[in-house]
Chain A
Amino acid sequence: MSTQSPGATCRLVRVAETERPGVTVFHGARPLPALAGDTLLTALLCNGVALRRSEFDEGLRAGFCNMGACQDCWVTLEDGSRIRACTTEVQDGMRIRALDGP
């Protein structure tokens, strides 16, 4: 199931440093291309995937401060553990739970 609402997707746009080795992270079953050295936030948002749902309104969330202060970007890994996306560097094969459940 798609994790995006109808309408726009948020998307980070790579403008530099694109020569790094590629890695793959999984959002649910969906493989997403990323680059070594990406944070999890970068990896997901470069693929137009929002990070989480707000618990208290209809909105999707995609981080805000990008420096570990606002706590807006916590995501759930496949094993159930929780991780802050903006301060976690991706590992090849990292698996993140999709927003609509596995």
Chain B
Amino acid sequence: MSERAPAVLIVGAGPAGTRAAETLVAHGVRPVVVDEGLRSGGQIYRQPPEGFSRPASALYGFEARKAEAVHAALAAVRESIDYRPGTLVWNVEGGVAQTLGPEGVGRIAFDSLILATGAMDRVIPFPGWTLPGAFTMGGAQVALKAQGCAIGEPVVFMGTGPLLYLVAYQYAHAGARVAAILDTSSAADALPVLPGLLWGGRTFAKGLWYMTWPRTAGIPVRRGIVPVAAEGEGALEAVRYRDRRGREHRVACTGLGIGYGVKSEVQLAELAGCEMAFDPLAQQWLPEADGDGRARDGAVYLAGDGAGVAGADAAELRGRLAALAWLADHGIAVDRGERARLRAKLRRIMRFRDALERALPVPFHLARALPDETVICRCEVITAGEIRQGRALDPAELNRAKAYTRVGMGRCQGRVCGPAAAQILADARGCDVAEVGRLRGQAPVKPLGIRAGALAAVEDNSRAASI
């Protein structure tokens, strides 16, 4: 009797998931590819719905060719994979992924898992950030890219990182009115690591171009600012900030994009049993993996921004490398030269990312300095003051603070507020942020409709509890 081929499940069909799938197919393996998106490309190369007409050059700018190549790669292997778009993996337990898709709740048994779960915006709350009209930078970009909409009129972009300038550019280019770009970092922050940044070559040049472009377009750019508040009756009307000299300013806007870089979506990696370690540069707990993305030998592989943010180009390389690692681990011959080339390319990008992270440290001091009444957990409406007061109950770590205060206990399970809450708790305890730990991942990683879950229940009375 022949052994059945090992079942490989890829979660995510962005650049990493797509390249992993393509690589496996090229070696005769047929993976299952589950993706929350209705169309492939992930967030970075997100494709608009049917019937949209803007060309890739308008949607993806400099990256249009790459985006089209990633879309084409998935399309090319579509018949050779078991592709399930519009499907959430809400839990991983043992060798089974539990899903929620168009057909309801399902289960996918796997021998190996390649997680390419991507990233979301890193958020630092500030007073008023829950007002209608305030979005993440990524959310603002999705509105434009995938829906042809601006998040307001006019729009302010606030935060730090390359996306700040990129999204502002995309908005202005699309004809939306951008009232200001408010950058919490000052350009001087970047100087000490310039030699490191040169590794980025083209990427860095592009970054510089995005940063200098607003001046020519007449869009005010303020650097070194401190966010004060978003304000408005019922919806956003203006944002207030302090400039470098401490003077306060107010900019009228009905849309506000906020973002401080992006952070990895690691919940499934944690549920799949990966070891987690604190990354001081990303200021985030990340699943541990080797350079090729091997997290748990033979069982779990990580690729793309979900395994630590390094951007879309790196995600493609990491998707390929994770798939090649899987193939090599399962006795399938792979081209060693190709692996070496991919690793070398990835090393160059990682060096650049490292330098960029050092140049633009996440300004979490802004979170630690927030006034007590600032809402930190937007799901449960838990304030900075409640987290600090919860300190009186002496929570040694973040899950304890959650137990006492409900911070991170709502619909998003701490995805949005967790990093800032950790900073506030660490500050209140006077300890390093790594010491307060992280909010443990729990299933379901996103809300699961009870009706759908109930329909999928398998009756098995052998385990009934009696209480």
Contact = CB atoms under 8 A, between A and B. Distances in A.
Q: A–B direct touch, CB within 8 Å, in complex?
A: yes
A81 B174 contact: no
B416 A64 contact: yes
B397 interface: no
Nearest to B265: A69
Interface in B335-391: 375, 378-381
Interface in B40-60: 43, 48-54, 58
A39 to B, nearest CB: 6
A12 B138 contact: no
A50 B233 CA distance: 13
Interface residues of B, number: 60
Interface in A1-41: 4-21, 36-39
Contacts of A68: 36, 446
Q: Secondary structure at chain A's binding surface: helix, strand, loop or mixed?
A: loop
Interface string A33-59: 000111100100110001000111101
Contact of A64 (B48, B135, B234): B135
Instruction: Tell me if B's interface is mostly helix, strand, loop or mixed.
Output: loop
B153 A19 contact: no
A44 B17 CA distance: 32
Contacts of B136: 64-66, 70
Contacts of A4: 234-235
Contact of B415 (A60, A69, A86): A69
Given A7-B235, A65-B120, A15 B415 contact: no
Contacts of B451: 81
Interface of A: 4-21, 36-39, 42, 45-46, 50, 54-57, 59-72, 74, 81-82, 84, 86-87, 89
23 contacts: A4-B234, A7-B232, A10-B152, A12-B152, A13-B151, A15-B144, A15-B175, A17-B52, A20-B51, A50-B235, A59-B131, A61-B130, A62-B235, A63-B139, A64-B139, A65-B121, A66-B139, A67-B139, A71-B410, A72-B378, A82-B449, A84-B447, A87-B36
